[in-house]
Amino acid sequence: MTAESLRVVVTRRWPEEVQAELRARFPAVELNSDDTPYGTERLRAALREADVVLPTVSDRLPAELFEGDLRTRFVGNFGVGYNHIDVDAAGRAGVVVTNTPGVLTDATADTAMTLMLMVARRAGEGEREVRAGRWTGWRPTHLMGSEVTGRTLGVLGMGRIGAAVARRAHHGFGMPVVYFDPQEPDAATVGVPDARRVETVEEVLEASDFVTLHMPGGADNTRLIDEARLARMRPGAFLINTARGDVVDTAALIAALEKGTIAGAGLDVYDGEPDVPAALRELPNAVLLPHLGSATRPTRVAMGMLVLENLTAFLDGRPPPCRVA
């Protein structure tokens, strides 16, 4: 099959630079010009009728979608996380799955730092006050927040993004770093000479003023941060999540924020997004972003181009560089 006849389905609107490249390489490409989410039945149809499907984190591809007679042999995920795809089922169906690691590291680490600063300094509350016309002027006790500089950062998951956050926090804000990761990362990769690795999640929670999450979603990480673990955090501590929404027990987090078990949370991802519980949205000590982690134009273009690099390798009979199934 030639590139000219290859049917490629792109489930959401991508940056125009990438879409132009897709049109040039694959004349039969089907783009999502109105950016409407596909939904289960449309995804099922795509896997049965297209040679290549290019989904994003907003698309759920459970095992049932990989059952039956599939035409698709390549799924190129636009994003580094892939817990929304049942990769085991895809592998059994003979479908190659790839992701886009590396190119979004800095953008996501910047977002984690943004959340950290916003929630500590109560920037969300202040911005809402000004916009609502409720600000009455400077006063000594107005919206007093917490320090960031010199406070202890706890990192759960010291991969590319976790290490990038640790470097920003330590070298930019003088923050000591403590972390847990099942695998011992190379010291040079972490880039924080005196970062302290501990043996359990609980040790990080107990030692940190800010806890930032950087692990894959799903499997053993589902509800990793639950009621018991939130109770192990310091009362003045903050939880930051730019990983996956299902890593945190949302109900337990809401209760912890309401009761003052922890001081606040900065979230960019949610379990069941885009639905965010009203109780969470109403909490003043929660900063909530709409999954902006990688949302810079250069990063999103680089993600799309990496999908194309993986697809090109697959079509050429070479191992895709970012294969996950």
173: phi then psi, degrees, rounded to nearest 5:
-125, 10
How many C-beta atoms lie closer than 10 Å to residue 186's C-beta? 9
273 classed as catalytic? yes
Phi and psi based region of residue 152 (left: phi greater than 0; alpha: psi -120 to 50; beta: remaining): beta
Q: Return the structure tokens found at 221.
A: 């990480």
Q: How many whole angstroms separate alpha carbon 69 and alpha carbon 52?
A: 14
Q: Which residue is catalytic, options 291, 297, 300, 309?
A: 291
Whole-number Å distance between alpha carbons of 212 and 155? 5
Tokens for 114, please give them.
Answer: 């943004």
Count CB-CB contacts under 10 A for residue 252. 18
| 129, 273, 309, 323: the active-site residue | 273
CA atoms within 13 A on the CB side of 178: 18
Q: CA-CA distance, 306 to 300, in Å (whole number)?
A: 10
Known catalytic residue at 48: no
Specify the DSSP class assigned to residue 75: E
Which residue among 84, 214, 244, 300 is the active-site one?
244
Distance separating alpha carbons of residues 99 and 281, to the nearest angstrom: 31
Catalytic (active site) residue 196: no
Which residues are part of the catalytic machinery? 244, 273, 291
